[in-house]
Structure 1
Amino acid sequence: MRHGPVVRRRKLGAELRALRTRAGITSGEAARLAGWHQSKVSRIETGTSGAKPGDVDLLLDVYGVADTQLREVLLALAGSEDDGGSRQHWWHPYRGVLPPAYRDFISLESQAGTMRTLETTVVPGLLQTPEYAREVTRAAMDGLPEERIDALVQVRLTRQDVLRSATPLRLSAVLDEAVLRRRVGEPGVMARQLERLVDAARLPHVRLQVLPFAAGAHIGVTGPFVIFSFSSTSDLDVVVLDHLTSSLYLERKEDLEAYTEAFKALQGHALSPDDSLDLLAATAAGA
Structure 2
Amino acid sequence: MPIETFFPGRGGGADRPWAESALVLGAHLEVLRGRRRQSEVVEATGKRVSTSYYSRLERGEVRIDKPHVLDIILNALGVAPGEYRDHLLDLAVAASKEGWASRFRSGHREVVTDSILRLTSLEESTTEQFVLDREAVSGQLQTEAYARLVTRFTLPASLRDEGLQEVIVGLRDERGTHLGRRLILNQTRARFFLDEAVLWRDFGQPEALADQLQFLLDLVNARDLPIGIRVMSRRNPLAVPITTLARLGFRRSLAELPVPDVIYNETGRNASFHRGPLHGAEVADPDYVDLDDLIDNVLMRAPGYRESRQLIESALLEAKFRMR
Q: Which of the five TM-score ranges fits, normalised by the shorter chain?
A: 0.7 to 0.9
Structure with higher RCO (Cα < 8 A, 6+ apart): 2
State whether structure 2 residue 278 is matched by structure 1 residue 248: no
Deviation track 1:69-109 (CA, whole Å, cap 9, x = no partner) reads: xx69x9567535xx4xxx54322221232122221222222
Query: In structure 2, do the counterparts of structure 1 residues 282 and 157 end up closer, same or farther at CA, with 3 Å as the change threshold?
Result: same
Residue correspondences, number: 262
State whether structure 2 residue 101 is matched by structure 1 residue 91: yes
Query: In structure 2, do the counterparts of structure 1 residues 105 and 77 end up closer, same or farther at CA, with 3 Å as the change threshold?
Result: farther
Alignment partners' CA distance in 2, 1:278 and 1:13: 44
Deviation track 1:162-207 (CA, whole Å, cap 9, x = no partner) reads: 2323344322121111111212341110000001111222352211
Alignment partners' CA distance in 2, 1:77 and 1:196: 40
Q: CA deviation at 1:124?
A: 0.4
* Residue of structure 1 aligned with 2:234, choices 197, 202, 213: 213
Q: Higher helix fraction: Structure 1 or Structure 2?
A: 1
The equivalent of 1:164 in structure 2 is 181
Alignment partners' CA distance in 1, 2:206 and 2:299: 29
Q: Is the 8 A contact 2:20 2:121 kept in 1?
A: no
Query: In structure 2, do the counterparts of structure 1 residues 276 and 10 end up closer, same or farther at CA, with 3 Å as the change threshold?
Result: closer
Q: CA deviation at 1:20?
A: 8.9
Q: CA deviation at 1:148?
A: 2.0
Q: Is the 8 A contact 1:238 1:250 kept in 2?
A: yes
Query: In structure 2, do the counterparts of structure 1 residues 128 and 38 end up closer, same or farther at CA, with 3 Å as the change threshold?
Result: same
Q: Is the 8 A contact 1:116 1:172 kept in 2?
A: yes
State whether structure 2 residue 197 is matched by structure 1 residue 173: no
Alignment partners' CA distance in 2, 1:38 and 1:108: 32
Alignment partners' CA distance in 1, 2:174 and 2:226: 18
The equivalent of 1:120 in structure 2 is 134
Q: Which segments of 5 or more consecutive residues in structure 1 lack a partner in the other structure?
A: 22-26, 32-36
Give the 5 Å matches for 1:13-32. 13-16=26-29, 18=31
Q: Is the 8 A contact 2:24 2:258 kept in 1?
A: no
The equivalent of 2:310 in structure 1 is 278
Q: Is the 8 A contact 2:140 2:172 kept in 1?
A: yes
Query: In structure 2, do the counterparts of structure 1 residues 218 and 187 end up closer, same or farther at CA, with 3 Å as the change threshold?
Result: closer
User: With structure 2 as the length reference, what TM-score do the two structures score?
Assistant: 0.66
The equivalent of 1:188 in structure 2 is 207
Query: In structure 2, do the counterparts of structure 1 residues 271 and 76 end up closer, same or farther at CA, with 3 Å as the change threshold?
Result: farther
Identity of aligned residues (%): 23
Q: Which deviates more, 179-188 or 4-13?
A: 4-13
Query: In structure 2, do the counterparts of structure 1 residues 239 and 63 end up closer, same or farther at CA, with 3 Å as the change threshold?
Result: farther
Alignment partners' CA distance in 1, 2:91 and 2:149: 34
The equivalent of 1:34 in structure 2 is none
Give the 5 Å matches for 1:47-86. 47-48=56-57, 50=64, 62-65=81-84, 79-80=94-95, 83=96
Counterpart secondary structure, 2:231: strand
Alignment partners' CA distance in 2, 1:76 and 1:188: 47
Q: Is the 8 A contact 1:230 1:236 kept in 2?
A: yes
Q: Which amino acid aligns with 2:124?
A: S
Alignment partners' CA distance in 2, 1:182 and 1:253: 35
State whether structure 2 residue 250 is matched by structure 1 residue 230: yes
Alignment partners' CA distance in 1, 2:261 and 2:92: 12
Q: CA deviation at 1:56?
A: 7.4
Q: CA deviation at 1:248?
A: 1.8
Alignment partners' CA distance in 2, 1:90 and 1:61: 34
Q: Is the 8 A contact 1:226 1:241 kept in 2?
A: yes
User: With structure 1 as the length reference, what TM-score do the two structures score?
Assistant: 0.73
Q: How well do the aligned residues superpose, as a CA RMSD in angstroms?
A: 3.9
The equivalent of 2:25 in structure 1 is 12
The equivalent of 1:24 in structure 2 is none
Which consecutive segments of 4 or more residues in structure 1 shift more than 6 A? 4-8, 37-45, 53-57
